[in-house]
């Protein structure tokens, strides 16, 4: 069987940003190829589609990557990954840069839950899933982008709702992330 994989991704004027994007998407491609070797089924075309969206806010460039992966299941899997870059300081921004202490993390959890309660079904299973996916763990909020009105947090399918609900996103005001 012949493997054919082609991946393209945005190129910018910023070396560090290009390296981070390439590293993240090359790892996605590598994982996809390795998984395909494990579950190989004849006569199935496995697909990995990656779409990107670029946002700029002040000196920050945010890339949001939407992945659709099909490996022979009942439906494709969807994922979202983000990369954020500060042009002024030539630095990749991670969730650790935003959530610097337990107080900020607690505020992020509370505000996320308040916003998500209005978006998800109000049944016990949905509420339990949302609460589990927004616990005080920074990794629950690691996919984010910067915008005019605040920081958009992206949640993976199954993180706060069934995959049929898609990828949820909320906008948290910048004030939540300020240290006092």
Is 10 contained in some domain?
A: no
Query: Which pLDDT does position 41 carry in this prediction?
Result: 59
- Is 61 a domain residue? yes
Q: What is the pLDDT of residues 104-146, one digit of tens each?
A: 999 999 999 999 998 887 778 889 999 999 999 999 999 999 9
Number of domains the chain is built from = 2
Q: How confident is the model at residue 98 (pLDDT cuts 50, 70, 90)?
A: very high
Query: Distance (Å, rounded) from C-alpha 180 to C-alpha 177?
Result: 9
Show which of 67, 93, 119 is a domain's final residue.
93
76 CB-side CA count, 13 A: 15
Q: Which domain holds residue 107?
A: 95-177
DSSP code, position 63: E
Statement: residue 1 has pLDDT above 80: no
Residue 22 and residue 63 in one domain: yes
Strands (DSSP E) contained in 3-150 are 47-57, 60-70, 77-86, 91-93, 144-146
Task: Report d(CA 111, CA 179) in Å as an integer.
Answer: 16
Percent of the chain scored above 70 by pLDDT? 91
Same domain, 100 and 159: yes
Statement: the pTM of the whole predicted model exceeds 0.85: yes
Q: For residues 2-31, b (16+ Cβ closer than 10 Å) or e, as one string?
A: eeeeeeebbeeebeebeebbeebbeebbee
> Can you tell me the distance from the alpha carbon of 79 to that of 158, in angstroms, rounded to the nearest whole number?
10
- What gap in Å lies between CA 48 and CA 77, rounded to an integer? 10
Q: How many other β-carbons are positioned within 10 Å of the β-carbon of residue 89?
A: 10
Q: Percent of the chain, pLDDT > 90?
A: 64
- The whole-number average pLDDT for the span 42-60 is 87
Shared domain for 82 and 128, answered yes or no, is no
């Amino acid at each position: 069987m012949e493997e054919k994989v082609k991946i393209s991704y945005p190129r910018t004027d910023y070396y560090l940003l290009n390296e981070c994007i390439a590293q993240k998407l090359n790892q996605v491609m590598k994982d996809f190829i390795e998984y395909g070797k494990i579950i190989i089924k004849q006569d199935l075309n496995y697909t990995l589609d990656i779409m990107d969206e670029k946002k700029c806010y002040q000196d920050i460039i945010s890339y949001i990557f939407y992945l659709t992966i099909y490996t022979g299941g009942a439906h494709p899997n969807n994922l979202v990954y983000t990369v954020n870059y500060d042009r002024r300081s030539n630095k990749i921004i991670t969730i650790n840069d935003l959530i610097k202490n337990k107080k900020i993390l607690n505020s992020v959890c509370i505000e996320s839950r308040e916003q998500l309660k209005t978006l998800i079904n109000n049944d016990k299973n949905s509420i339990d899933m949302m609460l589990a996916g927004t616990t005080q763990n920074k990794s629950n909020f690691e996919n984010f982008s910067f915008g005019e009105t605040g920081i958009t947090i992206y949640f993976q399918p199954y993180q706060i709702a069934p995959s049929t609900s898609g990828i949820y996103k909320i906008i948290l005001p910048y004030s939540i992330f300020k240290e006092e």
